[in-house]
A and B are shown apart, each in its own frame.
Chain A
C-alpha cells in the first residue's frame, strides 16, 4: 500500500500540566471517509490543530501527505482543505470577496463553476457579508470554500455542530461527492453518530486524549457487544471473560459490555458460569460509542426501582 495520507507517531500535547492528547498513533489510508469521534474535551480539536501545524506537539510527530505537520510547505497546504471549528470566516467580507480571497491561494486548482453552483444551490446572495449570514449559511459558504479547490485531503473540525438536518445532509453530500473523485480522503470530527455511520467507512475514537479505536466502521460495529446473562440464584463473583469493558450487576442479571469477544467464547463462558440464559443485544453505533467511552465504574444516571 502507499503511504497513509495522515500519520501520527506518539503525538502528545500538554496545555501547561493538562494532558490534551496522549501518544496518538494514527494512520489514515488514502481514499476513505474517516469519522473522528470523541466526547467533548476528548482532544479532537487539539489533535486536528496539531496535524495542521497550528499547535506544536509536546512530543511525537505527525505527517500529512508525507510532510511533517510542523513544517507544512505552501505546496502541501494547497492540497489540504481545512474547515475550522465554528466556520470562522472574515466577518466583514462578502461571499464574493471571500471567494476571491480563497481562490487566490489555489491558482488553477480552483473550480469557479463548482463554487458558483454551490452558492446558487444554497440560494445565497454573493454580495451579502459574512456577518449578515446565519450560522447555517456561514457553514454552507465554508463548505463551498473547502470543496471548490478539490482538496486531496479534507479535514473538518466538527463541521455540523449546531446545524439543522438539511444543512447537515449537505455536508454529508459534499463529503460523498469529494470521495468519489480519485484518491480523495476526508477526516471529519462529529458528535452525530448517525452522520458518521451514514458516510464513514472508517472510525477513529479518542477519549481523554487517548486513541481508543482506529479501524473500519464495520469492525467497530462488530467489536463492541452487549451481553445480558440471567442466573438462577446469584451472579458470579468474578467476571473473567475476555475483552470485558464494563460489567453491571443486578440481583440475578449481569450486563456485560465486551470488545472483540467471539460469540463462541461468550457461549462457553455463559456455560461455564452456569447462566440460565444469555442474550447478545444488538447495539446501534451511538450506544456502542457511549458504552465504549464510558468511564470504568460507569452507572446509569437515573435508576428505576424494580416494582
Chain B
C-alpha cells in the first residue's frame, strides 16, 4: 500500500501530515477497509525513505482521529467506522469548512443545485467501489 503515498518535501506541509492525510483519504474512499492492517512503521519508513519517527507520528495522528487503533505487539489496524467517535467539535469544523466552500461557489455565480451536484460528484468518487487497486488518482 505504501507505493501510492506521495511525499513532497518542501511543500510546506509537514511530512507526517502528508502521510496521515493520504492514509485517511484512502480510508474514506474505502481503499483501506476496517480491520485492514497498516504497514509496520519501519517498513513504511524504509519504503517512503522517511524517518521512522515521522511515520510513527503520522500513525499517532490517525489514532487520535480514531481512524486506526494500535494493538500492542501486533500492529496498527483501520478501526471500525461505527466505533469512530465524531463529537460535536469535529462536526462544527466540518460545517465551517463547508461554509467556506459554499461561499466561494456562490461568489463564482453557481446555483445551489450546481454546488450540490458538484458535492455529489465528488462524494461518488469516494464511496463508489474502487476499481482494481487504487482506481483513478483524482
- Which A residues are closer than 8 A to B by beta carbons? 32-33, 169, 172-173, 176-177, 179-180, 193-195, 197-201, 218, 221, 282-286
The answer to whether B14 touches A176 (Cβ under 8 A) is no
Query: What are 26 A-B contacts with C-beta separation under 8 Å?
Result: A169-B49, A172-B49, A176-B45, A176-B50, A176-B51, A177-B46, A179-B52, A180-B45, A194-B9, A195-B9, A197-B9, A198-B7, A198-B50, A198-B51, A199-B49, A199-B50, A199-B51, A201-B53, A201-B54, A282-B12, A282-B13, A284-B10, A284-B11, A285-B9, A285-B10, A286-B10
Q: A176-B50, A198-B9, A198-B50 are in contact. List 17 more A-B contacts (CB 8 A).
A: A173-B49, A179-B51, A180-B45, A194-B9, A194-B10, A195-B9, A197-B9, A198-B7, A198-B15, A199-B51, A200-B51, A201-B51, A201-B54, A283-B12, A284-B10, A284-B12, A285-B10
Residues of A within 8 A of B45 (CB): 176, 180
**Pairwise interchain contact A218-B9, C-beta atoms closer than 8 A:** no
Which B residue sits closest to A198, measured CB to CB? B9
The 4 A-B pairs with the shortest beta carbon distances in the complex, nearest first, are: A194-B9, A284-B12, A282-B12, A197-B9
B42 within 8 A of A: yes
- How many angstroms from the CA of A172 to the CA of B53 in the assembled complex? 15
Determine if A180 and B10 form an interchain contact, defined as CB atoms under 8 angstroms apart. no
Tally chain B residues at the interface, Cβ within 8 Å: 18
A-B contact count (CB 8 A): 52
> A177 vs B12: C-alpha distance in the bound complex, in angstroms?
26
Chain B's closest residue to A196 (CB) is B9
A34 CB to closest chain B CB, in angstroms? Answer: 11
Name the prevailing secondary structure of the A interface residues.
helix
Q: Which A residue sits closest to B14, measured CB to CB? A: A221
Contacts of A173 in B (CB 8 A): 46, 49
Interfacial chain B residues near A177, Cβ < 8 Å: 46
Q: Which of B35-84 contact A (CB under 8 A)?
A: 42, 45-46, 49-54, 57
Min Cβ gap B8→A in Å is: 9
Could you say which residues of chain A place their CB within 8 Å of the CB of B50? 176, 198-199
State the Cβ distance, B64 to closest chain A Cβ, in Å: 15
Q: Which residue of B lies closest to A169 (CB)?
A: B49
Pair A180/B12 contact, Cβ less than 8 Å:
no
In the bound complex, what is the Cα–Cα distance between A197 and B18 (angstroms)? 13
A180 and B49 in contact, given A221-B14, A284-B12, A285-B10 (Cβ under 8 angstroms): no
List the B side residues contacting A201 at CB < 8 Å.
Answer: 51, 53-54
